[in-house]
Amino acid sequence: MEQQQADLTEISFQIILYAGNGKSFAMEAIQEAKRKDFKRADELIVQAGEELAKAHEYQTKLIQQEALGQSNPLNVLLIHSQDHLMTSMTVRDLAVEIIEIYRYKEWDK
């Protein structure tokens, strides 16, 4: 049980790490779009997606364990990691839309 808790803690921290990286890249992409550097903004959105995919891989491990009957004890850290991932994915999706608004704004000039 102690090892399972340690594994769960490690997975939770990995989700938080990669989700945070993804969110940071997405926010940076918005700033680049503001500066009209759309090439860099697009690169950062790709990086955000890559980081979020890594976080999602860890989340998938937990889901697969659960599907195999290996339930994981719920704790605040795990809940926080899931919340952090979902919020970061939303930030990335909204960043894509915001970048497009800036891009179209440039076309209207």
Q: Are the C-beta atoms of residues 26 and 91 closer than 8 Å to each other?
A: yes
Annotated catalytic residue: which of 6, 80, 100, 106?
80
Residue 70, phi then psi, degrees to nearest 5: -95, 85
User: Residues 86, 89, 92, CA angle at the centre, nearest 5°?
Assistant: 155
* Catalytic annotation present for 56: no
Q: Are the C-beta atoms of residues 66 and 4 closer than 8 Å to each other?
A: no
- Rounded Cα distance between 86 and 39, Å, is 26
Question: Which residues are identified as catalytic?
Answer: 80
